[in-house]
A and B are shown apart, each in its own frame.
Chain A
Amino acid sequence: MKETPNLEYVDKLAEGDEAFRQKFIAILKEELPKEKIEYHDTIKSSLLQEASEHVHKIKHKLNVLGMHNAYTMAVQHENELRNGEQSFKEEFLSILNDVEHYLKTI
């Protein structure tokens, strides 16, 4: 079953602090699309080591958004990229598209 991003962790962290909540969501909205483009560009240019660095950054956000299965897959993808392989790239990009879409709705 497909995972849905959520703000459970962020809300717990905020403890009702709406200013923090909004600030954090703004950071996610700003950082994730940029990181997605950077990831896509490095994959396209076969710069797999650099792509793994982008996956490293992105995977933390997947965890923050409660996407634990996606996080596990991202860890595998990061490791395989370091070894010159990219079998998870389509799946990873699809997750990024879902997260990007979700961030537009909040």
Chain B
Amino acid sequence: MNCIIVDDEAAARAIVSQLCSKVPEINIMDEFDSAIDAIKFLNQYKVDVIFLDIHMPGFTGIDFIQTLKNPPKIVMTTSDTDFAIASYEYEAIVDYLVKPITHERFQKCVQKVKNSSVAKPQADASEEQENASGEDLYINIDRRLIKLKYAEILLIEAKGDYINIKTETKDYLVHTTLKKILEKLPEDRFLQIHRSFVINFNKIIDIEDNSVLIEKSVVPISRSNRPELMRRLNLL
């Protein structure tokens, strides 16, 4: 089993690595102190199991799982038992280890991982049909091209070397720029209203002086982008 360890604490990574070293079937491919770096790795290599800390600053383990369309088996590691309930919402999570992890508990975890089979999402035939109309966009996540309907997209936020595409059901973290994705989106539906934000024009609920409400998200409007937004409103 090819594994990676994701935890912002070096001590925690060392513990999981030591426990893995006692299991001949486990091959630790790499360790990461941030989820973002792990995503970059997953875009390049096939991984069977991720040992993933839930509580990481900025981008949590749960955020990380939500960005993976077809995640490998995931073992959550945490100091907080409170997160256990949240972890059961994700099919990819096969076990939940509370720190400090013991040899005995880790052995049980390895058995669980071996015996588990993570269900892969099945494509819906009717949805495929609907999407064959040029109303969608393909994004590259976790070595897979995922189809997103324009109508699903609420807004897109720049996050360093990534963009976060927010839809009604899920967020997708994609390694690209706002400029590049804007080139792929229909101009009449999507508009950049801030250096870091592109919105789906059809999803606007209301507009205040310097912000737009998109579903539950308040998005800032920059001074330079405001005239174009107002011009579009006049067209409506």
Chain A contacts to B: CB under 8 angstroms:
9, 12-15, 17, 20, 23-24, 27-28, 30-31, 53, 56-57, 59-61, 63-64
Return B149 CB to nearest CB of chain A, in Å.
Answer: 37
Q: Which of B6-14, B114-122, B190-198 sits within the interface?
A: B6-14
Which residue from B9, B12, B19, B79 sits with its C-beta under 8 Å from A13? B19
- Judge whether B99 and A63 touch: CB under 8 Å: yes
Return A96 CB to nearest CB of chain B, in Å.
Answer: 15
Nearest B residue to A14 via CB reads B18
Residues of A within 8 A of B57 (CB): 53
Which residue from B10, B19, B100 sits with its C-beta under 8 Å from A9? B100
Nearest A residue to B12 via CB reads A60
- Judge whether B11 and A31 touch: CB under 8 Å: yes
Residues of B within 8 A of A56 (CB): 55, 79
Chain B contacts to A: CB under 8 angstroms:
8-12, 14-15, 18-19, 22, 55, 57, 79, 99-100, 102-103
Known: A56-B79, A63-B79. A28 touches B100 (CB 8 A): no
Residues of A within 8 A of B99 (CB): 60, 63-64
- Judge whether A24 and B8 touch: CB under 8 Å: no
Query: A63 CA to B8 CA in the complex, in Å?
Result: 17
Nearest B residue to A21 via CB reads B18
Known: A13-B19, A53-B57. A24 touches B11 (CB 8 A): yes
- Judge whether B18 and A60 touch: CB under 8 Å: no
Nearest B residue to A66 via CB reads B100
Known: A13-B18, A17-B18, A56-B55. A64 touches B100 (CB 8 A): yes
Return A34 CB to nearest CB of chain B, in Å.
Answer: 11
- Nearest first, the 10 A-B pairs at minimum CB distance are A27-B10, A27-B11, A60-B79, A64-B100, A63-B100, A60-B99, A20-B18, A24-B14, A53-B57, A13-B18
Residues of A within 8 A of B10 (CB): 27, 30-31
Nearest B residue to A71 via CB reads B79
- Judge whether B100 and A23 touch: CB under 8 Å: no
Query: A50 CA to B213 CA in the complex, in Å?
Result: 28
Known: A60-B99, A60-B100. A28 touches B11 (CB 8 A): yes
Q: What are 5 A-B contacts with C-beta separation under 8 Å?
A: A14-B18, A27-B10, A28-B11, A59-B79, A60-B9
